[in-house]
C-alpha cells in the first residue's frame, strides 16, 4: 500500500468573502437586466395585442354592416322577385293580400325588425307604406329625406342583373340601412303589366339599440353613431350616405394588452424577488457545503490508515460490483458479512456468522457445492428469505481464497436483482397481455388457440367469437380517447364475466375482442352466449356524468368444423363478423363457406373499381332539365357511367354503393365534378350543370378547395354549377354539414336537395340549410297518374318548395300524363325519360344546338 496523501489545507476565509462579494452583485445585476428585458417585452407585446384587437374590431364592424346589408338585400329580393307580390303590389295595391294576410306587412317588422316598407311606382309616388308594422299614409321621399332617388335609380339599373340596390339614408334623425328592388314576376306564369314596375324598399333604422345588436353579433362592444366633430383615432369607421354625406360610427375598443400588463408586471416583480431570494439561499448553501467539505477532508485524513488495512480485501471483490460482501471457510460456513447485508436482507450479520451459506439461500445443496468447487465462472442466481418474510432474488459471484495453493475459503458478492427479476416477469407478462385492459393479447391468444386445437378430440368443439364494437369511433371523436379507453376497460370487464373456467377473452387491438370457449357443444348454447355478450355491451357506460351507448357485432367460427388451424379459425370468425355487420350490426353470425365466396367476389369488384378509376373507364352522361314555362332546356345533370371491359355499360346503381363503402366515391366524385365543369364551360352562358355529392365527400377531404380548383381550371362561373345533396346526407352530420354547405354557398354556386321527400328532415332543418332548389324523388312522380295520394304528396311538395322561395324540379317524368299533371301543379323544372334520356356529351351538344338559335349557342 502506498502512503496516504496529506489532507488538503482549509479554505481561506478571505476566499469565501471574496466569493460572496463578487457573486451577489453579479446575481443582482443579472436579475435586474432580466426584469427590464421581460418588462420591455411584455409592454411591446401588450401594444401589439391592442393594435391587433383594434384591427380585428375594424374588420368585424365592417363585416357587421356588410352582413346586415346582404341580409336585407336577400330579403328584399325574395319579396320583390315574387310573382304574387308583383301581382298584388306593383300596378295596383291589394291591401288585404299585402297587409291583412301579412305577406308584406307587420311580420317584416316583427320577424326582421324592418322599420319601414315602401312600394314606390315609376313616377316616385308612394303607393304602399308600412312603418313599424302599422299601415300608414306617408311619402317615402319625406320620411327618408335625401338620397332616395339614388337608391331607386340604382335598383332599376340592378334589375338587369337580377340584383338589388342598397345604401345608407337618413330617417327620423338616424342613419338607416335601406335596400330596394324592382318588382318582377320571378319567373312565374303571372302576366306582366305594361310600363315600369314599382320598386319595393325595406328600411332599417340604425338607432342606438339596433347598432348595439349589430355590434354584439360580431363581438364589437358599444357600437354607436359618432355625433361629435372631434377627431377620434382607432375605434372609428365611416360610411357614406347615398346623398354623399358621411356618417361615422364608433365603439368601445377592447384593450387586452393593457389587461395583460396589469396581470403580468406584478407577477414579474414577484418572480424577480423570488429568484433573488433563491439565489441568496443557494449562495448560503454553497458556503455551507464548503464548510462541510473542509470537515470531510479532516475526517478523510484520519481514516486513511484504517482503509489501507482493508484495501487488499476490497480489491478482489471490486470487479463484481457487489451489493453485499460475504466470506466463508473451506466448508462454506460464513465468516464475514458486510454492513450492506443487513440493509438489504434485514438480517443482522452476527446471527449468520458461523452458519452454512446454504442455510441462507434457497437453492440445491449439491448445485451450490459444485458451483463453489470450481464451477462458479458464471454467477449463480438464487433467492433467499428476507427478515420481513419476503422472497428476494440475488446473483452470487465468488472466487477462492488460497494461501500457497491451500484453499482457505471463498469470497464473493451478492447483487440484489429482485427488481430486475420482477421487471423481466413484467416484460414477459406484457408481451402476452394488452396494456390497457390487462386481457391476453394476440400473441397469448395464438398460443392458447394452438394449445387448445392440438388437444382437441373428435367429440369436442372449440368456439371462437370475434367481437367488434359498434358506434365506438364517435366516442373517441366526441369525448376524447380518455372516454374511449374507459369504455374499452368496461367492455373487457363485462366480457370476462361471460366466460368460465379456462376459457379465454383477448383483445386484438382497437375495438376488437375474441372469446374462445371450449364447453359449448351446441349452436343454441353459442347463440345464448352471444345474446349475453351483445346485451352486456349494449348496457350504457358512464363517463364523467355522461352515458355512453355502444353495441357489438359477433362473428362465430367453430373448430374443427370450420378450421383446425389458429390463424384460419380467426380468419373464419372475422369473415362471419363482417357478415354480421352487413346484416345490420348488434347481432351475430356463424361462419359459412359461402361467405368466403361473397367476400372474394366483393374484393374482386373493389379491385375492378380501383382499376377502372386508374384506367379512366368512366364517362359522364348528361340528362337535360326543362323549364316548365316553355319546355326549354336550362341545364343538365351529370350522371356517371362505367364502360366495364366484360359487363358492358354499367349504371350507377351497380357500382356507386361499393364506391361509397370503400371510400372510392371521393375520387369518383372529384372526377365527375371536374369533367362536368369543363364540359359545361362550352355550353351557352345561361345553362347550368348539376353534380351529385356523396355524403362521404361532405366529411372527407377538402371539398371546398376541390370545387374552387375545378371552377378555376375549367373557367366555369360558380353560378352555373349546382351541387345536389341527398336529404339523407343531412341527417348524418347536421351542424358540420351546415358549415360545409354555407362555405360552399359563399362561392356563389347553387345547392339543391336531391330525393326530397324520401328522408326525415323537419321543416325547420330545411329552412336553415342554404338550398336554392329541391328535387322531388322519381318514386313520387311515378305514382301520380294512378294514385291520388301520390299526386297529393307531389303537389304538397311543390307548394312547400314555392313557399320556401325555392325552385322545384320533378325527377323521373316518364309519361305525358305525368308531365301535364306537374305543369298544372306549377312545378318549376322537369327531368325524365319522357323528355330525354341521359346523353353522352356529344349527343347533348347536338341536342342543345338543335333546340337553340345559332346566336344563343356559345361557339
Name which of 82-96, 312-326, 690-704 the model is least confident about. 312-326
pLDDT 10s digits, 20-68? 556 656 766 777 787 788 778 888 887 888 788 788 888 888 888 888 8
pLDDT of amino acid 626 = 96
pLDDT of amino acid 376 = 58
Average pLDDT over residues 568-588: 88
Helix, coil or strand: residue 789 = helix
In contact, 165 and 154? CB cutoff 8 Å: yes
Cα dihedral 709→713→714→718 (10° resolution): 40
- List the end-to-end C-alpha distance of the chain, in Å, as a whole number: 110
| Three-state secondary structure readout of 322-356 | CCEEEEEECCCEEEEECHHHHHHHCCCHHHCCCCE
Report d(CA 540, CA 556) in Å as an integer. Answer: 24
Q: Phi and psi of 808, rounded to 5°?
A: -125, 125
pLDDT at 487 over 60: yes
pLDDT of amino acid 28 = 66
Domain residue ranges of the chain, discontinuous segments joined by +:
52-250, 318-422, 431-591, 613-851
613-851: CATH class: alpha beta
Report d(CA 516, CA 509) in Å as an integer. Answer: 16
pLDDT at 320 over 80: no
Beta pairing partners, 315: none
Beta pairing partners, 398: 412
- Beta carbons within 8 Å of 462's beta carbon, 6+ residues apart: 449, 452, 453, 456, 516, 517, 518, 558, 559, 560, 569
pLDDT at 11 over 70: no
In contact, 677 and 716? CB cutoff 8 Å: yes
pLDDT of amino acid 490 = 94
> Could you tell me the pLDDT band of residue 708, with boundaries at 50, 70 and 90?
very high
pLDDT 10s digits, 722-775? 999 987 677 555 567 788 889 999 999 999 988 776 655 556 667 778 899 999
> Could you tell me the pLDDT band of residue 203, with boundaries at 50, 70 and 90?
very high
In contact, 667 and 694? CB cutoff 8 Å: no
CATH of domain 431-591: 3.30.70.270
Selecting from 3.30.70.1450, 3.10.20.90, 3.30.360.10, 3.30.450.20, what CATH number does the domain 318-422 have? 3.30.450.20
Amino acid at each position: 500500500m502506498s502512503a496516504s496523501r496529506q489532507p488538503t489545507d482549509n479554505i481561506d476565509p478571505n476566499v469565501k468573502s471574496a466569493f460572496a462579494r463578487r457573486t451577489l452583485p453579479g446575481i443582482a445585476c443579472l436579475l435586474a437586466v432580466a426584469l427590464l428585458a421581460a418588462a420591455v417585452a411584455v409592454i411591446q407585446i401588450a401594444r401589439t395585442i391592442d393594435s391587433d384587437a383594434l384591427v380585428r374590431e375594424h374588420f368585424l364592424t365592417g363585416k357587421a354592416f356588410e352582413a346586415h346589408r346582404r341580409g336585407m338585400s336577400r330579403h328584399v329580393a325574395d319579396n320583390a322577385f315574387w310573382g304574387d307580390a308583383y301581382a298584388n303590389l306593383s300596378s295596383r295595391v291589394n291591401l288585404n293580400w299585402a297587409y291583412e294576410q301579412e305577406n308584406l306587412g307587420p311580420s317584416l317588422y316583427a320577424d326582421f325588425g324592418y322599420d319601414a316598407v315602401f312600394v314606390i311606382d315609376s313616377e316616385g309616388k308612394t303607393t304602399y307604406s308600412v312603418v313599424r308594422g302599422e299601415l300608414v299614409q306617408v311619402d317615402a321621399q319625406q320620411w327618408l329625406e335625401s338620397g332616395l332617388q339614388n337608391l331607386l335609380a340604382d335598383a332599376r339599373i340592378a334589375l338587369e342583373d337580377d340584383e338589388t340596390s342598397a345604401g345608407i339614408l337618413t330617417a327620423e334623425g338616424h342613419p338607416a340601412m335601406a335596400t330596394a328592388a324592382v318588382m318582377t314576376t320571378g319567373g312565374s306564369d303571372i302576366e306582366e303589366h305594361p310600363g315600369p314596375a314599382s320598386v319595393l324598399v325595406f328600411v332599417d333604422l340604425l338607432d342606438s339599440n339596433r347598432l348595439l345588436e349589430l355590434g354584439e353579433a360580431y363581438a364589437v362592444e358599444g357600437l354607436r353613431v359618432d355625433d361629435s366633430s372631434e377627431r377620434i383615432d382607432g375605434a372609428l369607421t365611416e360610411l357614406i350616405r347615398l346623398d354623399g354625406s358621411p356618417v361615422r360610427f364608433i365603439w368601445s375598443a377592447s384593450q387586452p394588452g393593457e389587461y395583460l400588463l396589469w396581470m403580468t408586471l406584478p407577477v414579474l416583480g414577484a418572480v424577480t424577488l423570488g429568484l433573488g431570494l433563491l439565489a441568496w439561499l443557494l449562495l448560503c448553501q454553497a458556503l455551507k457545503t464548503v464548510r462541510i467539505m473542509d470537515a470531510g477532508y479532516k475526517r478523510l485524513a484520519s481514516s486513511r490508515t484504517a482503509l489501507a488495512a482493508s484495501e487488499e480485501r476490497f480489491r478482489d471483490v471490486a470487479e463484481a460490483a457487489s451489493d453485499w460482501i460475504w466470506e466463508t471457510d473451506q466448508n462454506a460456513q460464513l465468516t464475514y458479512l458486510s454492513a450492506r447485508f443487513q440493509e438489504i436482507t434485514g438480517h443482522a450479520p452476527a446471527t449468520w456468522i458461523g452458519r452454512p451459506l446454504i442455510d441462507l439461500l434457497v437453492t440445491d445443496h449439491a448445485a451450490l457445492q459444485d458451483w463453489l468447487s470450481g464451477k462458479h465462472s458464471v454467477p449463480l442466481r438464487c433467492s433467499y428469505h428476507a427478515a420481513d418474510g419476503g422472497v428476494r432474488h440475488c446473483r452470487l459471484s465468488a472466487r477462492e481464497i488460497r494461501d500457497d495453493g491451500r484453499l482457505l475459503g471463498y469470497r464473493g458478492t451478492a447483487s440484489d436483482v429482485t427488481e430486475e427479476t420482477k421487471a423481466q416477469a413484467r416484460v414477459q407478462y406484457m408481451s402476452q397481455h394488452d396494456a390497457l385492459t390487462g386481457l391476453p393479447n394476440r400473441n397469448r391468444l395464438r398460443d392458447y388457440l394452438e394449445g387448445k386445437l392440438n388437444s382437441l378430440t373428435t367429440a369436442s368443439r372449440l368456439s371462437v367469437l370475434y367481437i367488434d364494437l359498434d358506434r365506438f369511433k364517435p366516442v373517441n371523436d366526441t369525448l376524447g380517447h380518455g372516454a374511449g379507453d374507459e369504455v374499452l376497460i368496461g367492455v373487457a370487464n363485462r366480457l370476462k364475466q361471460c366466460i368460465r373456467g379456462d376459457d379465454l377473452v383477448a383483445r386484438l387491438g382497437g375495438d376488437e375482442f375474441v372469446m374462445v370457449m371450449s364447453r359449448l357443444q351446441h349452436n343454441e348454447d353459442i347463440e345464448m352466449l352471444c345474446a349475453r355478450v351483445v346485451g352486456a355491451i349494449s348496457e350504457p357506460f358512464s363517463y364523467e356524468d355522461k352515458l355512453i351507448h355502444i353495441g357489438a357485432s359477433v362473428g362465430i367460427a367453430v373448430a374443427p368444423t370450420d378450421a383446425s388451424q389458429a390463424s384460419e379459425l380467426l380468419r373464419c370468425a372475422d369473415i362471419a363478423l363482417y357478415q354480421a355487420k352487413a346484416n345490420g350490426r348488434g347481432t351475430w353470425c356463424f361462419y359459412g363457406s359461402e361467405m368466403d365466396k361473397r367476400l372474394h367476389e366483393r374484393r374482386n369488384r373493389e379491385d375492378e373499381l380501383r382499376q377502372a378509376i386508374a384506367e379512366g373507364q368512366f364517362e359522364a352522361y348528361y340528362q337535360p332539365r326543362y323549364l316548365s314555362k316553355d319546355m326549354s332546356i336550362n341545364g343538365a345533370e351529370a350522371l356517371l357511367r362505367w364502360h366495364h371491359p366484360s359487363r358492358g355499360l354499367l349504371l350507377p346503381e351497380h357500382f356507386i354503393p361499393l364506391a361509397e363503402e370503400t371510400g372510392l366515391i371521393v375520387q369518383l366524385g372529384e372526377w365527375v365534378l371536374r369533367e362536368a365543369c369543363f364540359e359545361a364551360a362550352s355550353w351557352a352562358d345561361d345553362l347550368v350543370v348539376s353534380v351529385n355529392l356523396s355524403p362521404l365527400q361532405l366529411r372527407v377531404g377538402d371539398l371546398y378547395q376541390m370545387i374552387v380548383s375545378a371552377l378555376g381550371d375549367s373557367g366555369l362561373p360558380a353560378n352555373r354549377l349546382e351541387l345536389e345533396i341527398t336529404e339523407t346526407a343531412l341527417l348524418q352530420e347536421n351542424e358540420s354539414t351546415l358549415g360545409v354547405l354555407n362555405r360552399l354557398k359563399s362561392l356563389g354556386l347553387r345547392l339543391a336537395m336531391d330525393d326530397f321527400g324520401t328522408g326525415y328532415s323537419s321543416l325547420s332543418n330545411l329552412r336553415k340549410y342554404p338550398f336554392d332548389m329541391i328535387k322531388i324523388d322519381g318514386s313520387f312522380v311515378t305514382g301520380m297518374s294512378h294514385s291520388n295520394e301520390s299526386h297529393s304528396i307531389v303537389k304538397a311538395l311543390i307548394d312547400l318548395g314555392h313557399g320556401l322561395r325555392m325552385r322545384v324540379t320533378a325527377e323521373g317524368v316518364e309519361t305525358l300524363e305525368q308531365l301535364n299533371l306537374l305543369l298544372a301543379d306549377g312545378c318549376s323544372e322537369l327531368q325524365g325519360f319522357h323528355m330525354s334520356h341521359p346523353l353522352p356529351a356529344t349527343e347533348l351538344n347536338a341536342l342543345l344546338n338543335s333546340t337553340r338559335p345559332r346566336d344563343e349557342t356559345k361557339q
